[in-house]
Structures are given as structure tokens and as C-alpha cells.
Amino acid sequence: MQHAGRTTRRWLTAGAAALMMTLIAPAAISAAAPNRPNGSAGADHAMGSQIRKHEGSGAATRAVARPMAAASSVRGIDVSSWQGTVDWTAQWNAGKRFAWVKATEGTNYTNPYFTSQYGGSYKKGFIRGAYHFALPDKSSGATQAKYFSDHGGGWSADGKTLPGVVDLEYNPYGATCYGKTKAQMRTWIADFSNYYKKRWNKYPAIYTSTSWWSKCVNSSFSSTNALWVARYASTVGTLPYNWAYYTVWQYSSSPIDQNVFNGTTTQLRTFAANHD
């Protein structure tokens, strides 16, 4: 498993046994159906929304919804303002043990539900963290990492807080790679990552898809940043450039974003507790 830090990288092997996993019932999502937040037209993009738009949502596999994951694994979800008030008790009862909550996008958006979602998951016992939807053409990586850090994206070595995540996917507003060359995109990501590491002594995890990464970056961050890969299928498939293992796999968006951590609960807590 490619965790951010030497301590965690040796836990798993690529030949881990397979385990069939199931999805939760729709009733466990939220007290109300997700709606576009007021005034958020074009301003609030959930994790994976653009990957699903460009690569598909795996509708053919959702009927089965049983991804092959490592034998030692932990299930979790990610949420944004689209989920509104989340029923964390139902999620816990459905077997979920970790969650990432959208905090920010670019430098002009904060999730109005962040406090309730982040705090609610914590109170229920979830190991939780925050994520940032990146807009690399709007400002520098360091500028967005600062905005994220200042609006809920921080980290502490308490074993209950997951590292912040930079969500890198297709541009919802225009050119797929935000008008940047691969070298420029690599520089932007490094700028974000280095700022976050300097401020919190923890590298942010990188969320992306293999297809987008190959098209827009195709550089190695495997020695520093944990990989959260999106692929809506029964197998994780080929990983982005030079990552040997994934730390988290987002395998479905139905009825809410479904994720699996590539390790045990103890390893998840260690991932949340260890400095890089």
C-alpha cells in the first residue's frame, strides 16, 4: 500500500487476497435527497463528479456492486454539500468507519455543511478528514493549499484525523488539463503538496483517476503522497504513474461515494496518526 510515509508503505503486498464487499442501503445516505446548494451553480463540484462525467459511473457494474478489494480493508465514504445532513449513525451501522468531507474549492468556495458533516462524523466515531477540489488554473498550488488549510483542511496527529486531500480531476469549466502542460501541472501539485507538508508535517493525499493523471500529469508523487484512486468497476485496474499500491479506492458513487481503505483498521489509525 502506498501510504505517505515510510512507516506505512510496507504493510501490504500486491498479492493480497480478494474480498467481496457490498454497498449500503439508500436509506443510510441523508435525511433528505441531495440538492444543489443555494447559489452554488457552477461553484460546487463533488469528488469524482467530473471523472464520472468523462469516464462513466460504472452503471453496468453497480448492479453487482461487489468490488474485489484486499482482504484487509476498511470501508468508508466521502461527502460534500450535495449530501446535506448525513445520517452518520446509519453509515456506521452500514459498516463505514472513515469519511472525507469536502471543505473547499479553488479559493472562493467553502462547503456550508462542512462543520456539521466533519463534526458529526467525528462524534459518531469515524476517522475523518477534509478534501479540496483543485482549480489549478485559478491560483497557485500554495495559495489553494493555504485556503484549504485555513478553512477546515488542517491535520493533527491524533489518530482520528486523516490527511487533507487534493482532488485532481477533469476541469469542470473548460480545458481538461486547465490549460497547463504536464510539467506545469506537476509544479502546481508539488506547490500545493509542499505547502501542506510544511504547515502540517503531513503530505496531502492525492485523489485522481488513472486516465486524467496520464493525460495531464504523468509524473511520480509515489514517494511522498498517498494515492486515492477513482475507478468505478469491480477491480481497481491500472494505477496512475509509478504508484505501486493505492491507499484508498473510490469504487462507486451509488447511493453515495463508496471507498475502501487498503489496510486494517489499525493501519488506518496509524495513517491518521503518523507524521511524514
Give me the active site residues, please. Answer: 78, 167, 169
Measured in degrees and rounded to the nearest 5, phi and psi for residue 160 equal -120, -5
Spatial separation of the C-alpha atoms in residues 267 and 276, rounded to whole Å: 15
Q: Which three cell numbers stand for residue 50?
A: 467530473
Q: Would you call 215 exposed, middle or buried from its count of C-beta atoms within 10 A (0-12, 13-18, 19+)?
A: middle
Q: In the chain, which ranges are continuous DSSP H helix? A: 6-9, 49-55, 59-62, 88-93, 114-124, 141-150, 182-200, 210-216, 265-273
Q: Which three cell numbers stand for residue 117?
A: 458533516
Q: Which three cell numbers stand for residue 15?
A: 498479492
> What are the residues whose beta carbons fall under 8 Å from the beta carbon of 47, sequence distance 6 or more?
78, 80, 100, 102, 131, 133, 167, 169, 207, 230, 250, 257
Count of C-beta atoms within a 10 Å radius of residue 37: 17
Q: Would you call 158 exposed, middle or buried from its count of C-beta atoms within 10 A (0-12, 13-18, 19+)?
A: exposed
195: three-class secondary structure by DSSP? helix
Spatial separation of the C-alpha atoms in residues 188 and 166, rounded to whole Å: 11
Residues in the chain: 276
Say if residues 228 and 261 touch (Cβ distance below 8 Å). no
